[in-house]
């Protein structure tokens, strides 16, 4: 296993098309490209090994509750935001080498810097590797009453000194 780096990515970057191909090969294009009115901003993180994109994670910044058709949550006048993961995957030949964990760790670092209250994601019930990874990183598990076996994973974040860092 070669070393890898985690870096931001945007449309037009040299790795972008390869990332989209990887997303497509893992069946996540629908989630990766999901665009909603309540998204305040979106970010893409990728893992690169030997010049090749081998992992991705994209997430939206949103006010907590707005994706559930609720008013954004406020506490003592402060709007609570979250980083919500849209798509997340690692190339099959690079799994179990810490790539997924490092993508999540960079998400947690960035979301904290951006003043988010929590990181959250939804996962289908058959994504057992993802479930194991999230639990290993300390995420809480929130089952749903929806008519499927999906669960949500939520991780509260330490308070960042500059909540206005959110764009």
Ligand X SMILES: CC(C)(COP(=O)(O)OP(=O)(O)OC[C@H]1O[C@@H](n2cnc3c(N)ncnc32)[C@H](O)[C@@H]1OP(=O)(O)O)[C@@H](O)C(=O)NCCC(=O)NCCS
Tell the smallest beta-carbon distance from residue 71 to ligand X (Å).
28
Q: Which is nearer to ligand X, 52 or 127 (CB)?
A: 127
Handedness of CA 70, 80, 124, 58 (dihedral sign): positive
Tell the smallest beta-carbon distance from residue 60 to ligand X (Å).
15
What DSSP assignment string belongs to 149-164? --EEEEEE-PPPS-GG
Q: Which is nearer to ligand X, 101 or 113 (CB)?
A: 101
Buried b (16+ CB within 10 A) or exposed e, 89-100: bbbeebeebebb
Q: Which helix (H) or strand (E) holds 31?
A: helix 29-32
Tell the smallest beta-carbon distance from residue 153 to ligand X (Å).
10
Q: Which is nearer to ligand X, 34 or 72 (CB)?
A: 34
Tell the smallest beta-carbon distance from residue 92 to ligand X (Å).
8
Q: Which is nearer to ligand X, 59 or 88 (CB)?
A: 88
Position with the least CB separation from ligand X: 100
41-49 vs 52-63, strand pairing mode: antiparallel
Q: Name the 3-class secondary structure at 24.
A: helix
Judged by the rule CB under 6 A, the positions of this chain that interact with ligand X are 26, 88-90, 95-101, 123, 127, 129-130, 132-133, 136
């Amino acid at each position: 296993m070669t070393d890898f780096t985690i870096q931001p990515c945007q449309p037009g970057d040299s790795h972008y098309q390869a990332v989209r191909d990887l997303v497509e090969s893992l069946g996540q294009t629908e989630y990766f490209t999901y665009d909603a009115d309540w998204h305040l901003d979106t970010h893409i993180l990728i893992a690169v090994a030997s010049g090749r994109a081998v992992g991705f994670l994209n997430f939206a910044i949103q006010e907590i509750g707005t994706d559930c058709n609720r008013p954004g949550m406020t506490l003592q006048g402060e709007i609570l935001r979250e980083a919500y993961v849209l798509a997340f995957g690692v190339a099959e030949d690079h799994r179990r080498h810490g790539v997924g964990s490092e993508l999540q760790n960079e998400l947690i670092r960035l979301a904290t810097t951006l003043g988010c209250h929590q990181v959250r994601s939804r996962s289908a019930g058959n994504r057992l590797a993802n479930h194991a990874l999230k639990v290993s990183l300390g995420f809480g598990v929130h089952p749903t009453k929806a008519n499927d076996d999906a669960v949500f994973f939520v991780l509260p974040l330490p308070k960042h000194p500059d909540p206005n860092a959110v764009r």
